Structure formats: C-alpha cells, structure tokens
Amino acid sequence: MIDFTRDGHLHTPFCPHGSSDSLEAYVDRALGLGIKTLTFTEHAPFPARFLDPTPDKDSAMSVESLPLYIEAIQKLKRSYPELDIRLGLEIDYLPGCESETLSFLEPYADILDEAILSQHFLLIDGELLPVDFSAETFHVLVERIGSFEDVMKQYYTALAAGLAFPWERLKVDRIGHIDLPIKYQHNYTWDRSNVQAEQTRLLQTIATRGFGLDLNTAGLRKPDCGQPYAIDVASEAAALGIPFVLGSDAHIAFDVGAGFEIIQKKATFL
C-alpha cells in the first residue's frame, strides 16, 4: 500500500542548488495538504577525495553544514509534535568511492531515521560524469556511451553492482529515482523494452536486498521527462514485492506533495 499522507523525499535550505524557503514553509505546505509524515533527505556531503563533476559544484551540502542540518531537523521535530518528521539523507552511490562513503557517513547513522540511496553520476572510462545536471551535460554522457538506451543500461547495471555494499549501515531503506536518465527522455528516441533485461536484474537485486523504491514525482515537473520516476517499473517492482515510498523531491516548499494526485489515479496497479 502507498501512503499518500507521507512525503518521503524533501530537500531544504541546506541544499546548494535548492531554494532559501524555510523548513517551516515546507511544514506549513504539508499541513495545508493533509500530509502527516515528512522525511527530509538532504544531499549528504561527499567523501573528501570525491570531486563534484558538475559545472556548478553544487550537488551536495558541505560537510560543515551536516551538523547544522541535523540540528535544524531535530528542532523542527520538537516544534511540530503533531507531525511525524523524520531526519534523513539522500546518499549518493559514487562508483569507486563506496567504502569512503560508508566510513565517512557511518558516524552519523545512529541519529538518522532513514535514508535514500541515489545515483547521480556514472563512471565512464575512469571519469565520473553527471546524469541529471543539464540536458547539455547529459548529451555528453550519451555521446560518450553511445545512445540514450546505452546510458539507461549502464545506469541500471552500475546501480545493481553498487547494491552489493552494506548500505543498511547508513539507514538506507530505499533507492531514489531508479530511472533518473528519463529526465531527458523526450530528447531521444528510445524503447524501454530494449533495456528490460538490465531493469529486471536491478529490480531483482533490490528485492533480494530488501530495499524499497522512491516513487518520485519530480519527473512530472521536468519538461523533457513528463512522468514520475519509477512509474514505468512500478508493476514489475510490485510483482517482486518491492514497497514504494512517495516522494516529491521538493527543493522548494510549494512542491511538497506535488503530483501525488496523479500517482493516486494510477495506484490501482501498484
């Protein structure tokens, strides 16, 4: 069952590429929509040796911001006892930096309620390239790999391999926007059936590992995407017993709960 009163993927003013909307603005928006559970999942800092490959170098909060973020969410919990407010992180799967990510963030694990594991970069010939920074940087990825479908295949294959690591140590319980490259799908001709084998292997790995999926409505707000992330894998995932957590991936307060009504219309097959 999908809980439509829960938004499990929210960003904050601590996000370098987000907005300055206050945490209270996010809560007020949720209260107005009847949402009862909020999980703030700010982008976790990167390990020291990782260099952000995006042009703006703004993919994650700084390590100095992490204690401030934790303190702010804990204060928010105390201020709004009528809501179930959860402290989380969106942790990047960084191919080649898995052990560093685990050791760097593990000291904070006990204080977390839950976490999302997401993949925003692909390792190509020893170089990590951004997946979702812009249409232009994504096209570089397509040219390097060969085609949009090849990007999808490599995205699924990389994430499946990355799930061999013990992400539960960081309170990870679900995988973020599993098909993130579709953010730019309208710019390419492609057929999902051509990536079915890789998709199925990834979903089987997720099911075996006991993780859920982030049913992420942010794709509805992306003009080159036009649909929620994970919606096209939902039937297959549900058949494998994989649970879903709705998430708006809001980076501004107005987007809390955005698109949930569209998912609700499709929930009959989930």
Mean of per-residue pLDDT scores for the chain? 96
Q: List the one residue out of 101, 126, 127 whose CA is nearest residue 115.
A: 101
Find out whether 216 and 251 touch, Cβ atoms under 8 Å.
Answer: no
Q: What share of the chain is helix, strand, coil (3-state, %, to 5)?
A: 45, 20, 35
Q: Average of pLDDT values for 79-89? A: 98
- Helix residue ranges, H only, the chain: 23-33, 65-79, 98-105, 135-145, 148-162, 196-209, 234-239, 260-266
Q: Which pLDDT belongs to residue 183? A: 98
Q: How many CA atoms lie within 13 A of 162 on its CB side?
A: 28
Q: Average of pLDDT values for 54-70? A: 96
Please give the single-letter amino acid code of residue 70: I
Tally of CB atoms within 10 A around 4: 17
Q: Which pLDDT belongs to residue 267? A: 74
Q: Which pLDDT belongs to residue 143? A: 97
Cα separation, 74 vs 86, in Å, equals 9
Cα separation, 46 vs 208, in Å, equals 27
The residues, ordered by sequence, that sit 6+ positions from 14 with a Cβ below 8 Å of its Cβ are: 42, 61, 65, 68, 69, 72
CA dist 83 → 64, 80, 113, 259 (Å): 28, 6, 14, 21
Q: How far apart are the first and last CA of the chain?
A: 8
Residue 55: exposure state from Cβ atoms within 10 A (0-12, 13-18, ≥19):
exposed
Q: Average of pLDDT values for 245-265? A: 96
Tally of CB atoms within 10 A around 95: 15
* Percent of the chain whose predicted confidence (pLDDT) is above 90: 96
pLDDT band at 270 (very low <50, low <70, confident <90, very high): low
Q: Average of pLDDT values for 24-39? A: 98
Q: Average of pLDDT values for 138-155? A: 97
Of 265 and 60, the one with more pLDDT:
60
Q: Which pLDDT belongs to residue 266? A: 79
Structure confidence by residue, pLDDT tens digits, 150-196:
999 999 999 999 999 999 999 999 999 999 999 999 999 999 999 99
Reading the block at residue 69, the tokens are: 């973020």
The owner of tokens 């790999």 is 145
Reading the block at residue 29, the tokens are: 């928006």
pLDDT at 250 over 90: yes
Cα separation, 190 vs 219, in Å, equals 17
Cα separation, 167 vs 62, in Å, equals 21
pLDDT at 248 over 70: yes
pLDDT at 269 over 80: no
Structure confidence by residue, pLDDT tens digits, 208-243:
999 999 999 999 999 999 999 999 999 999 999 999
Q: Which pLDDT belongs to residue 186? A: 98
Strands 84-92 and 37-43, by their bridges, are parallel
